[in-house]
Structure 1
Amino acid sequence: MAPRTPDILDCASAQWIGKRREQEDVVKSLPAAGGMLGIVCDGMGGHLRGDCASCVVAQEFAAVFAESGIEDIPERLTAALHAANRALSAIQKEPEESGTTLLAVFIRDHFLWWISVGDSPLYLWSGADSFRMDRLNEDHSMRPIADSLYRKGKMSLQGALRQRCILRSAVMGGPMELVDISAMPLLLHPGDAVLACSDGLQVWSELLREPSFLALQKARDCSSRELVGIIMEQVKDMLEPQQDNASVWAAVMRKPCEGGK
């Protein structure tokens, strides 16, 4: 059975190594502060020990958030992020020799908060619209900038494709240039699904069409475990030759009489 909070939150996660030699994504899920915390960290493959960086940051963030006495959730998320950044700095032989993205989601009493550094996307799939998935957090890669320049004719297609994967901010033990945080919580409704992903699911989300949504909807209605399983099947079916590590943490809000199977 998928882990969940005592009431109506149904959670599960899944990962796939893709075409990479190592799995540098880390996913954690744990009850904390009367709610559920989900974390996705994507280690930076171009840097030394990306897998170690994602593990250290995820573990420290989870521990500090769970043990914190801070009542204000945005402040609590921010404190956990800075503690995780310091923990990474403490194990580095050289400044910023390794790094990771971080996306942390906290859900309690139908409300959603998040904090993120990097390009790992957070999606809200509304139970009221089965064919729409909205990104909630900012993309700290060059992707939105390069895409905009290409559309305006100021950058070639090849130039845009080369630039898209470059990060503008990451957790590397030093200053974090960009941090996205939900200052106000987002109200969730029964049927809503929250998907915290590594950027290995970016192409999948862009290619979603009605047949894929219908398969996802059927899985969502069954359980979060079924949902993440179908997501990974769809990612694999894309047959991307350079497929990155893919990870997803899903939380589905349900009526008290449901709760997933």
Structure 2
Amino acid sequence: MESTYCTDPGKVRDHNEDSVGVFFGENCLLGIVADGMGGHAAGEIASRMAVDLSSAKWAERSGTPTRDEAESWLNHLVRSINLRIYEYSGTHEACRGMGTTFAAAFCTNDFVVVSTVGDSRVYIWNQGSTARQISEDHTLVNELLKSGQISKEDAEIHPKKHVLMRALGTEPTIALDTSVFDWSKGSHLLICSDGLTNKLSGEKLSEIMEEATGLHEKTEKMINEANHAGGEDNISVIIISQDGGGEKQ
């Protein structure tokens, strides 16, 4: 497994509230994209806390986990980050109400554990196929879509598309959305913030993945395309290759 990532403030915002982390272990790695929310610099603080706490927890673990161990570890991580951010915001006036999305993939050679909160996404892609979203958006619009109140076309242009139903740090407890699945050689994961997916469709992401370029060139191309389409938000993407093709960052 190898991975690369890229993050960019976009063309409109003057600072980047996205935080990204990729951490390598023994036959495993952890990739995280967190998109902060809150006034002033609070969103940036929340997303950075999520990645820094993940880094610290990752440094404490060792070995190659079983499926159950990896799932349990990731669930515990999400709960602990949520509580830490919630407690921090409660004791720092400037950070009141801050939170962050969280999209994480704990990858081994045989399986992947994915856990997400908010609207940062995880996709899986194989050559010749369209990138498939394997996470669920915790948004008002997605709830309306699932209940049949709006169409998929309506969802794409809904004025409240940005409204989150779930984020880390806004409540003392958090509902978990974790899944475990196998992946095979040639598989790639994309972990990204909504600054990318609001601008590029799964078909466009797949088109870039099909190009005969390295993984880092692909992440840069995705960022450039999202900026070309407007770049109103911060943009972040991690690509993880099951069998190489990238560089460690």
User: What interval of TM-score do these two structures reach, taking the shorter chain for normalisation?
Assistant: 0.7 to 0.9
| Residue number in structure 1 paired with 2:223 | 232
Pairing partner for 2:188 from 168, 172, 193: 193
- 1:12 maps to 2:10: no
| Residue number in structure 2 paired with 1:141 | 139
For 1:12, give the aligned amino acid: T
Greater Cα offset, 223-232 or 39-48: 39-48
**Per the alignment, in what secondary structure is the counterpart of residue 82 of structure 2?**
helix
- 1:248 maps to 2:237: yes
Pairing partner for 2:23 from 12, 17, 30: 30
For 2:105, give the aligned amino acid: V
Greater Cα offset, 81-90 or 14-23: 81-90
CA distance in 2, matches of 1:89, 1:213: 37
CA distance in 2, matches of 1:37, 1:136: 16
Q: Deviations over 1:10-47 (max 9, x none)?
A: 21000111121210000011113541111111001457
CA distance in 1, matches of 2:96, 2:26: 31
**Per the alignment, in what secondary structure is the counterpart of residue 199 of structure 2?**
helix
Question: Percent of counterpart pairs with the same letter?
Answer: 26
**Per the alignment, in what secondary structure is the counterpart of residue 158 of structure 2?**
helix
CA distance in 1, matches of 2:137, 2:215: 25
Q: Alignment length, in residue pairs?
A: 236
- Alpha-carbon shift at residue 253 of structure 1 (Å): 2.2
CA distance in 1, matches of 2:202, 2:107: 28
Pairing partner for 1:174 from 171, 178, 181: 171
For 2:234, give the aligned amino acid: N
| Residue number in structure 2 paired with 1:88 | 85
CA distance in 2, matches of 1:123, 1:207: 9
- Alpha-carbon shift at residue 102 of structure 1 (Å): 0.8
The 1:141/1:176 distance shift into structure 2, 3 A limit, reads farther
Greater Cα offset, 143-152 or 56-65: 143-152
> Is the CA contact (8 Å cut-off) linking 1:40 and 1:197 kept in structure 2?
yes
Greater Cα offset, 27-36 or 100-109: 27-36
CA distance in 2, matches of 1:260, 1:202: 22
**Per the alignment, in what secondary structure is the counterpart of residue 191 of structure 1?**
coil
TM norm structure 1? 0.79
Greater Cα offset, 169-178 or 114-123: 169-178
- RMSD between superposed Cα atoms in Å: 2.8
CA distance in 1, matches of 2:73, 2:13: 34
| Residue number in structure 2 paired with 1:151 | 151
Q: How is 1:32-47 mapped onto 2 (pairs within 5 angstroms)?
A: 32=25, 34-45=27-38
Greater Cα offset, 97-106 or 26-35: 26-35
| Residue number in structure 2 paired with 1:5 | none
| Residue number in structure 1 paired with 2:76 | 79
> Is the CA contact (8 Å cut-off) linking 1:121 and 1:197 kept in structure 2?
yes
**Per the alignment, in what secondary structure is the counterpart of residue 76 of structure 2?**
helix
- Alpha-carbon shift at residue 111 of structure 1 (Å): 1.6
Q: Deviations over 1:116-164 (max 9, x none)?
A: 111101011123x33x111101110112234442239xxxx69x72222
> Is the CA contact (8 Å cut-off) linking 2:168 and 2:174 kept in structure 1?
no
Structure 2: stretches of 5+ with no match in the other structure: none
| Residue number in structure 2 paired with 1:97 | 97
Structure 1: stretches of 5+ with no match in the other structure: 1-8
- 1:203 maps to 2:192: no
CA distance in 2, matches of 1:215, 1:137: 20
TM norm structure 2? 0.83
CA distance in 2, matches of 1:31, 1:37: 7
For 1:143, give the aligned amino acid: V
- Alpha-carbon shift at residue 248 of structure 1 (Å): 0.4
> Is the CA contact (8 Å cut-off) linking 2:79 and 2:173 kept in structure 1?
no
